[in-house]
Structure 1
Amino acid sequence: MRFRADRDAFADAITWTARALPARPAVPVLAGMRLDIADAADTLHLSGFDYEVSARASVDVQVEEAGSVLVSGRLLAEIVRNLPPHPVELRVEGSRALLTCGSTRFTLLTLPLEDYPSLPPMPRTTGSAPADVFATAVRQVLPSTSRDDTLPMLTGVHLTFRGDTILLAATDRYRIAVREMWWKPEQADIDASALVPARTLGEFGRALAGGNVDIALSAVGDSAGEGMIGFEHAGKRTTTRLIDSDFIKYESRFPTDFAARAEVPVASLVDSVKRVALVADRSTPVRFSFSSSEVVLEAGSGEDAQAVEALDAKFEGEPMRIAFNPQYLLDGLTGVQSENALLSFVAPTKPAVITGVPSAEGERPDFRYLVMPLRVS
């Protein structure tokens, strides 16, 4: 194998593929990244796989000799991130891969290609969605996933495909984030769901830009890759096994009747929460006192450091005092895309719901965030 490539395009493809490589591979060969160039082709294909997640990327190159090689993926990614701004050349000689970029040269040992597992096939395409909208939706719900592996259901993002709508939902028991978005399905009457590992979905979401993302769900009319979902965008493709667990029935958790509502500028409230939370440790809530024209934020008490800040707000209902984990509240506010956020309350001890301000009365917001308040003495 021998080829030349643009340094930036090569580095981008390598870095993205390396994200799927396991930090502690079950067998040494899974730490490898496979590079393939087919005969009479001018495209380099890169792939990584750990039996759960696969990642594939393609980049145009100037081919002198086709072939395949397996090298340490994380080492290769670290090298290309630090190369000078010159074209990259890579050639394989026996058991070594020689990488040259300007006056910089690296020699990498190759791994046994025959021991590398075959990557799973991409399931049949189920539909496509605007890549930037899908990326935003992933960012909005991802903070609400849990890192507690003892409860697998909480470590995933639940995707519901119903007609021309996708619902993304995530929860860690203390909050629930739901985003509704449009997509173009291959089957107009589709009704399916998938619980996708949050880490994999987040990594792919960060790589999305313009254009469309193709979504392929094996559970829909395709027996290949059972229990798997795939995403493809701009030459980058990933597949992952689904989490085999039932997701909560979250719609019934959202209140429908509220005793009070507050409309507050998102940017101002985010800044205020961050400032007041400086005196709050991880177990200390930020307290909110809502009245007709303002909200007062407080943190700290007694002999501890204290902070108080007042902020203009439109409030409807009886005055209310309620407290939240500041980071949980910030995660919800940063998911709101409108200038103002609408905070809806049932009672100081009941879950609150954060949304954008609807453009029309009774309109269902596309992003909803339910968060549990904290009890304070």
Structure 2
Amino acid sequence: MKFRVERDVLADAVAWAARSLPVRPSAPVLAGLLIETGDEGLVLSTFDYETSARATLQAEVADEGRVLVSGRLLSDICRSLPNKPVEMTLDGARVSLTCGSSRFSLQTLPVEDYPSIPDMPAATGTVRSADFAHAVAQAVTAAGRDDMLPVLTGVRIEIEGDTISLLATDRFRLSQRELGWNPGTPDATLAALVPAKVLGDTAKSLTSGEVITIALSASGTGEGIIGFEGTGAGGIRRTTTRLLDGEFPKVRSLFPNEKLTTARIDRAALIESIKRVSLVADRNTAVQLAFSDGALTLDAGSGDDAQATESVPAEIQGEDLVTGFNPTFLLDGLGAIDEAVVELAFTQASKPVVISGIADDGADADEGGLFRYLLMPRRLLS
């Protein structure tokens, strides 16, 4: 194996492929990055039996071959190289890397023990990469982080014709984001439960090109695989991951069909007020929200402890109410909204709030897709 490639192209692709390497690999070879040269050019791959990453680059290939080296070490080396072409050559059990006057010799790992990279499923459709990355970033806000409840650590992707819905919940909050896309089959109806961390990292890493191709295997759950393909510096990048097994809760019905009390508030002002008031809130205690007389009054702290109170102007319709929420969860939802004005909609004080953005014309924001964030209230200290 022997090839020559531009330093920036190689460093970017190696860093992208190595980002998904396991911190504690179950086998030494899984810490490796597979380098292959052939008709496709230069191909860099990683795989941990769950998630794979594959970058195809244009390179001057002198000899075909394949080799496995430490992925993180190669990433560190490539990042530190001078801005000159890089040449890599396999010499026995070692790989020689030359860049200008810099020379490295790397020990290889047993490439014959490396697992086969899974094939990409058939393409299901395409979506604008920037729109998809933003939608995923909003949806993962509510995804669970408790590995004891693996189903809740995923984002449910529902495809219905030309609409993609992203749903996530950790039992205390729920996010829903919808966006349009270009399906391969106009009447396609598919669903998949994708690990939230993998989905978030992948969507964010594939924004160099204009579109992302989504490829979903027919099974939809369990042993199914979902793939994402986009373009990066110098070539094509592809990620696959196994879908989570289990039944995602039927959460759509949690969004109420009526609004008995609504409050429209400047988002930035509300965020800053919550941050200030929550400074005196004990861990795991709620910040109180009282809606009355054209203002939202926030309170935190109690008894002999530090206390804080602050009011924010609000356009309130419906009955006055007093409720409370985990301030961190509240800030997470507000931070995921793009619009300058947000609406907090209630059916009653003891029921969840639905938070969404309001467009400049006063209507529910729907440009580029609808994002809704449902948050359970917390018991207030007496």
* TM-score scaled by length of structure 1: 0.93
Equivalent residues in 2 for 1:330-349 (5 A)?
Answer: 330-349=331-350
Structure 1 position 228 matched with structure 2 position 229: no
Residues 271-299 of structure 1: per-residue CA shift (max 9 Å, x gap): 22222222224312222122232212222
Equivalent residues in 2 for 1:1-377 (5 A)?
Answer: 1-39=1-39, 43-209=41-207, 210-219=209-218, 227-234=224-231, 235-357=236-358, 366-376=370-380, 377=382
Whole-angstrom distance in 1 between the partners of 2:364 and 2:95? 62
Q: Any gaps of 5 or more consecutive residues in structure 2?
A: none
Whole-angstrom distance in 2 between the partners of 1:106 and 1:361? 60
Question: How many equivalent residue pairs?
Answer: 372
Whole-angstrom distance in 2 between the partners of 1:362 and 1:155? 29
* Secondary structure at the counterpart of residue 348 of structure 1: coil
Q: Any gaps of 5 or more consecutive residues in structure 1?
A: none
Share of identical aligned residues, percent? 50
1:345–1:14 CA distance, 2 compared to 1 (3 A): same
Residue identity matched to 2:352 = P
Whole-angstrom distance in 2 between the partners of 1:308 and 1:92? 67
* Secondary structure at the counterpart of residue 143 of structure 1: helix
- CA shift, 1:127, in A, is 0.6
1:276–1:363 CA distance, 2 compared to 1 (3 A): closer
Residues 136-188 of structure 1: per-residue CA shift (max 9 Å, x gap): 11100112111112222101000001011110000000001000110111111
Residue identity matched to 2:204 = R
* Secondary structure at the counterpart of residue 139 of structure 1: helix
1:206–1:53 CA distance, 2 compared to 1 (3 A): same
* Secondary structure at the counterpart of residue 125 of structure 1: coil
* Secondary structure at the counterpart of residue 147 of structure 1: coil
- CA shift, 1:90, in A, is 2.1
Residue identity matched to 1:156 = G
Q: Which moved more, 1:19-28 or 1:152-161?
A: 19-28
- CA shift, 1:11, in A, is 1.5
- CA shift, 1:326, in A, is 1.1
Q: Aligned Cα RMSD in Å? A: 2.0
* TM-score scaled by length of structure 2: 0.92
Residue identity matched to 2:283 = R
